[in-house]
Amino acid sequence: MIFRTKSGKYCIDARIRKDGKIVHRRETIACSKEQAKARLEEIKAEIRAGRPLESSLKSTDISTFKELIEFYRDKSPKAPFSPEYDKKVIRLRDEFNSVSLVGFADRFEAYIKLLRNAKKSAATINRPIEIVRAAFQVAYSLGMVKGNPITKTRFPEIKEIPRDISLSLEEKNNLVETARNNPRTVHIADALNFALQVPVRKSELVNMRVKDIDLFSKCIRVHNGETKNDKGTDKPIPPDMIDFFMKRKKEGKPEDPVFCRIIKGDRKNRTGENYKVVSLGDFKRAWQTVKEDAGRPDIRFHDTRHISATDMVDAGTPERAVMDVAGWNTNMLANYYHRNNKKSLGLVQFKKSNCEPVVNTIEKQGS
């Protein structure tokens, strides 16, 4: 028997006569009527086979994916999450929202298959798997669900191959100048110049505030909770940007963003009744314009983080120092970030050989 409760959920009441006795089981879940009917047949089959309920939830606890995610955001040992990670979690919550946890693994498997067929990157496929698996694991460890259906066997992660992207000095200068010469993208020119020299995430870049500029130490502070690992760090100010940071420190208010755009008022003189400074926000469209106009549509903004870290190491900066600036706990340079090995190639020495080249030998035989 199936009936709908006042809360909008379906109550599934299964009764089966087995060995001369009536076996009764009941579940209350949030799903469609068709899903409830399918679940009723599953419960009956489980009773006949003598198996325990395979539902991954209790009838009085978490029943939808939205409830699971909200529980994860509240009870996870890593909560509160960093803004960037929380954004990914919320995106998944909105994707599946009120989908019932009964049969969720099948729905999620179809979603991952779509990502694979669309040839998305390994990271794009792995992150949702990691988040959903972690959410189920937290709920399971606290007794809110009966198991974790996102197993490593059914949902294996794809090996992530690091992107091998590099830019010459001329290409980096070209990107910055392209942004600076276009009225639609001039507002991201200084941010791009900074990102090409200092390993920084986009979220860290747009959240930098004038009050965090330290001109004496020539650095800017990124506070705890604003980095990927939630640990604060200091970003060095590149020599060619000292004047820019001095100007922002002098003209900007303490809470103003360092990298910003001016709207209304007199933009040139930064005055006027309606003068307003706003954060860059998500400058995806402006960045798309810059990289296409500069002839490098293959570059992602996150690649600037890889490139600047690599350039720092090649310039002689100790790897530990680069890791501290970037905010890495593990040696990401060794695992993910490419090196410029051309300097090493210049040091390669070959042992002299007495053997004549094959081509010369053939010519002598022919003559």
Rounded CA separation 260/264 (Å): 13
More confident residue, 40 or 177: 177
Confidence of residue 177 (pLDDT cuts 50, 70, 90): very high
pLDDT at 355: 58
- SS3 for 225? coil
pLDDT higher than 70, residue 221: yes
Kindly report the average pLDDT of the chain as a whole number.
81
pLDDT at 225: 65
- Which residues, at least 6 apart from 295, have a Cβ–Cβ distance to it below 8 Å? 174
Rounded CA separation 312/199 (Å): 9
Identify whether the C-beta of residue 325 lies closer than 8 Å to the C-beta of residue 233.
yes
Q: Is the dihedral of CA 355, 356, 358, 364 positive or negative?
A: negative
- Which residues, at least 6 apart from 128, have a Cβ–Cβ distance to it below 8 Å? 88, 92, 111, 112, 115
- Which residues, at least 6 apart from 37, have a Cβ–Cβ distance to it below 8 Å? 2
- Please name which of 357, 333, 65, 307 lies closest in space to residue 193, comparing C-alpha atoms: 307
Which neighbouring-strand residues pair with 235? Answer: 220
Q: Taking the CA atoms of the chain, what radius of gyration do you get in angstroms? A: 29
Over residues 116-138, mean pLDDT: 91
Over residues 274-300, mean pLDDT: 87
β-sheet with 233-236: strand ranges across: 213-214, 219-222, 233-236
Rounded CA separation 72/137 (Å): 9
pTM over 0.85: no
pLDDT at 235: 92
- Which residues, at least 6 apart from 338, have a Cβ–Cβ distance to it below 8 Å? 162, 164, 165, 166, 306, 310
More confident residue, 338 or 261: 261
Neighbours of 140 (CB within 10 A): 15
pLDDT higher than 50, residue 176: yes
User: Residues 80-94: pLDDT tens digits?
Assistant: 887 778 889 999 999
Provide, rounded to the nearest whole percent, the portion of the chain with pLDDT above 70.
Answer: 81
pLDDT higher than 80, residue 124: yes
The residue type of 163 is R
Over residues 45-58, mean pLDDT: 59
pLDDT higher than 80, residue 243: yes
Confidence of residue 143 (pLDDT cuts 50, 70, 90): confident
- H-helix or E-strand spanning residue 219: strand 219-222
Cis peptide before 80 (omega within 30 of 0): yes
Q: What is the CATH number of domain 169-345?
A: 1.10.443.10
Identify whether the C-beta of residue 333 lies closer than 8 Å to the C-beta of residue 321.
no
pLDDT at 244: 93
The residue type of 63 is S
**Which of the 8 DSSP states describes residue 168?**
-
Domain residue ranges of the chain, discontinuous segments joined by +: 2-49, 65-141, 169-345
